[in-house]
Amino acid sequence: MMKLTTFLTFTTLFTFIACNTSENEPDENSKSETVESLDSTTQTANVNPHLLSVAKWDSLSFEGDYFIINFKGVSTETEAIEVVDSLLPTFPDAGYLWIPDFASLSGKELFVVFLDQSKYKFSILETLQNNKIEHPGIYAVNVNQTTDRWVAYSPIDIRINGEKQKMILTYATPEDSEEYANEGGEDWGWFVNDVGEYFRQNHPEVQMESVFYSGLLPAEIEALEDELDLEGFCYIFTDGKNKMVVGHDMPDFVISEACIFFGFEEPDFGY
């Protein structure tokens, strides 16, 4: 009887230890999940926060567009990180990307270091204008997943796939505009709006900007004035290297002249 009691006690103890060990020891699936989780954590920790990856771009872009100021291209990620670190004290939004990640870029197997980044074109053009004297050679780039390569060297020198965009620039010095307003003049503003609205609706590929309020540098404005002998109120049509100046006139006349200049069909205004 005593032997039987001892045997039962030993059996119960063995069963308890075996069950307890089985519950605490992970099975093969949980081991695999743990290793995978560690690998994922390690990979995430190793991603540089200043890298504009495809996933990060996707979370930041606006309607599939994002803009950067191209500073320089480098061959290794280590060099890209070093250059970015040197820029951060002055340019807190500096970063880098891998060119082949984005269809709109050149496709070269290089890293691009950029001074600034934004989902807004006007913001990136402002940064470009404010820094291109100190950093000659910088330019703005549209980062997206289309094959259209958008590059801007200034607000009035924007190129798509190497071709300068068609533009209409309005010209009126701040002094002339103020004097015109003080004398009760209103036509210029209304007429400019009508011209702009026509092209926005019928030829959106034509961009419309103001010479004095687009962020152009004083030297760039002076160069335009000297080249075209600008004065008073007028429109400047640009298409590649070709330029034409039309004075302040009725919107229909300006629109017709612009369409002829750009090679569009002349509109029929019904008279």
Query: How do beta strands 95-98 and 163-164 pair?
Result: unpaired
Identify any residues that bridge with 68 across adjacent strands, giving them in sequence order. Answer: 117, 141
HSE-up (13 A, CA, CB side) for residue 27: 2
- Percent share of the chain, pLDDT over 90: 75
CA angle, 216 then 219 then 224, to 5°: 75
How open is the CA angle 8-12-16, to the nearest 5 degrees?
170
- Residue 243's Cβ-count burial label (10 Å; 0-12, 13-18, 19+) is middle
pLDDT confidence tier of residue 27, bands split at 50, 70 and 90:
low
What are the tens digits of pLDDT across the range 86-144?
999 999 999 999 999 999 999 999 999 999 999 999 999 999 999 999 999 999 999 99
Instruction: Using a pLDDT cut of 70, give the percent of the chain over it.
Output: 83
- CA-based nearest residue to 203, from 248, 168, 235: 168
* pLDDT above 60: residue 42: no
d(CA 248, CA 234): 5
- Yes or no: say if 207 and 152 are a contact pair by the CB < 8 Å rule: no
**Kind plus residue range of the DSSP H or E element containing 82:** helix 77-87
Q: What is the pLDDT of residue 137?
A: 95
pLDDT in tens, 189-216: 999 999 999 999 999 999 999 999 988 9
| Domains, the chain, ordered by start | 54-154 (no CATH), 164-262 (3.40.30.10)
- Cα distance from N-terminal residue to C-terminal residue, the chain: 123
Supply the mean pLDDT for the chain.
86
The span from the CA of 156 to the CA of 251, in Å, is: 22
- Dump pLDDT digits (tens) for 240-260: 889 999 999 999 999 999 999
**Sheet of 234-239, strands arranged across:** 207-210, 167-171, 234-239, 242-247
Higher pLDDT pick, 73 / 240:
73
**pLDDT for the residue numbered 185:** 86
Positive/negative CA dihedral, 180, 186, 191, 196: positive
pLDDT (average), residues 43-69: 87
